Amino acid sequence: MLAILAQSPAFWSALTDKFYLNFVKNDRWRYLVDGLGITLEVALCAVILGAAIGFVVAVIRTTHDKHGRLRLLNLLCRVYLTVIRGTPMTVQLLIAYFVIFASSKNGTMVAILAFGFNSGAYVAEIIRAGITSIDDGQMEAARSLGLSYVQGLRAVVLPQAIRNVLPALGNEFIVLLKDTSIASFIALRDLSKGGEIIRSQTYDAFMPFLMVAAIYLVLVMIFTRLLSRLERHLHRTGA
Amino acid sequence: MQTDTNKTDPFLSDRPIVPPGQPLIVVEDLHKSFGALQVLKGISTTIRKGEVVVVIGPSGGGKSTFLRCLNLLEAPTSGRIWFGGEEIASGGSLQRDGSDLRLSHRARERNLNRYRSDMGMVFQRFNLFPHMTVLDNVTMAPRMIRGVSREAAERKAMELLERVGLPDKAKAYPQQLSGGQMQRIAIARALAMEPRVMLFDEPTSALDPEMVGEVLAVMKELAANHMTMVVVTHEMNFAREVADRVLFLEGGNILEEGPPDEFFAHPKFDRTRDFLGKVKDK
């Protein structure tokens, strides 16, 4: 069927017409490019925020589990993890925008905070698994040399833990990048919203949404490539 | 006690130097329990500067726990320990991580780290840092704790690698080495802090038989250079040749102790004779 279509000149001219209508006419491509900018801004800022939160939460949780310290902070962390992981991302985003930051008109900032706090919960559990996977002898050796607990974590345990969970962290970033597509719920003009705006103007869903999907796919593929290069590099330098 | 601090060497800690033959570690009525399990039931002994003490005994007798209490990797349940004249543990005042309850948290941590930096420890499973080169393994602690410059630390590390016979492995990663080589690097790493005493926790037990000799040779060289050493081991020949004193630990108590000649020739207890009979071929 498609093969027959592809041979007909009418099919090709219809396709180029649609392309022109959706992306070139009235500079509609700008909706996608501007949307991509917002998507990347939200994803990158959220991943940094999420990594920072995840790091701190993971260290608090493992310190508590191994040494019985930081009981109150550990309790807070557990409430945070339970709430974030137990509710849908979309609902969290809506609550952040319409309840917590109801007075704020800065949708991008609200999205960064919501996605960052959401990602932090998952990153925390990934890093915690990484820390627990490191043999206790590593920290003992560090302490026996006179390093403090924090020095031992920083110089000995965390570098090994992060390396072990790098694939899982990369996966978490990919999930986050794609999750940002729900930012249009709070009227953020991200990449997905860009496609939706074009559709509402041209009444054509096929072209804009396929283009949007293709852009996400290319982003994820580029990131996957970068990540596996980093993994190979780390693998060359040590265990 | 002499208070010559001799702070010209940046690798040395600022602790007073204990003259040879004087008590370096004093242990008094040391108890350690893990929950309901009593592992140490009142150990008292004195380790003198320059002395090589070998601790032997059946597994489960508390040898490793005793050693790990000396640098507070395990917090004693009760009893007292002095190190170089300073009391480092007293009567169950320590938390699970070995820090002292009577002091503020920061002061506790500082003291604990200071004691440990002065006691080198060598583990059965080496515990080298796999994400660092051999050189970084050896230089990390002096640089982080004593603030020694990279150049000075690396110079010193190369001397130590020379001493354990592995100068060509400086740029290698631990997983590229054999067990015997890893253990020699672990000894060099501990020596880099210029410890006052070296604690060995079954240093040859995880090694293939043909690699035991090279590690024991390094330990003998240390002993010959008057390093104070506490060695938990099953190597009876090492005990016979190198030890100044042998401690026989059984059931959480020192059942018997003495100079190796006497200890091995005329054990006082049946239990000791029985144990020595079983490990004789070692």
Give pLDDT tens digits for B151-160: 999 999 999 9
For residue B1, the model assigns a pLDDT of 41
Q: Is the dihedral of CA A144, A147, A149, A154 positive or negative?
A: negative
Classify residue A36 by burial, with Cβ atoms within 10 Å: 0-12, 13-18, 19+.
middle
For residue B20, the model assigns a pLDDT of 87
| Nearest residue of A to residue B130, measured between CA atoms | A239
Contacts of B140 in chain A (CB under 8 A): 145, 155
For residue A12, pLDDT over 90 is answered with: no
For residue B282, pLDDT over 80 is answered with: no
* B interface test, pick of A134, A145, A149 with most B CB neighbours within 10 Å: A145
For residue A126, pLDDT over 80 is answered with: yes
Whether A145 and B128 lie within 8 Å, measured CB to CB: no
Of residues A15, A53, A8, A47, the one with CA closest to residue A170: A47
Say if CB B255 and CB B271 are below 8 A apart: yes
pLDDT tens string B2-24? 444 445 677 777 777 888 889 99
What domains does chain A contain, in order, with CATH numbers?
Answer: 13-237 (1.10.3720.10)
Cα–Cα distance list, A198 to A21, A37, A115, B228, B236 (Å): 9, 17, 26, 80, 84
| Nearest residue of A to residue B109, measured between CA atoms | A148
Whether A148 and B109 lie within 8 Å, measured CB to CB: yes
Q: CA-based angle B44:B48:B53, to the nearest 5?
A: 70
For residue B18, the model assigns a pLDDT of 84
Whether B123 and A141 lie within 8 Å, measured CB to CB: yes
Q: Mean pLDDT over residues B248-259, rounded?
A: 93
Q: Mean pLDDT over residues A226-238, rounded?
A: 80
Say if CB B127 and CB A138 are below 8 A apart: yes
B127: left (phi over 0), alpha (psi -120 to 50) or beta: left
Contacts of B109 in chain A (CB under 8 A): 148-149
Regarding predicted confidence, which is higher, B136 or B92?
Answer: B136
Classify residue B13 by burial, with Cβ atoms within 10 Å: 0-12, 13-18, 19+.
buried
For residue B192, pLDDT over 60 is answered with: yes
Q: Kindly report the nearest CA distance between residue B261 and chain A, in angstroms.
A: 33
pTM to 2 decimals? Answer: 0.85
Pairing of the two strands B52-56 and B228-232: parallel
DSSP SS3 for B252: coil
Whether B123 and A140 lie within 8 Å, measured CB to CB: yes
Cα–Cα distance list, A221 to A77, A86, A169, A177 (Å): 33, 29, 15, 12
Whether B193 and A141 lie within 8 Å, measured CB to CB: no
Whether B145 and A146 lie within 8 Å, measured CB to CB: yes
Residue B201, strand partner residues: B232
Q: Mean pLDDT over residues A109-116, rounded?
A: 96
Q: Does A231 touch chain B (CB under 8 A)?
A: no
Q: Mean pLDDT over residues B23-31, rounded?
A: 94
Whether A67 and B97 lie within 8 Å, measured CB to CB: yes
pLDDT tens string B59-88? 888 999 999 999 999 989 999 999 988 888
**Total CB pairs under 8 A between chain A and B:** 77
Residue matched to tokens 């080589």 = B181
- Largest Cα separation within chain A, whole Å, is 78
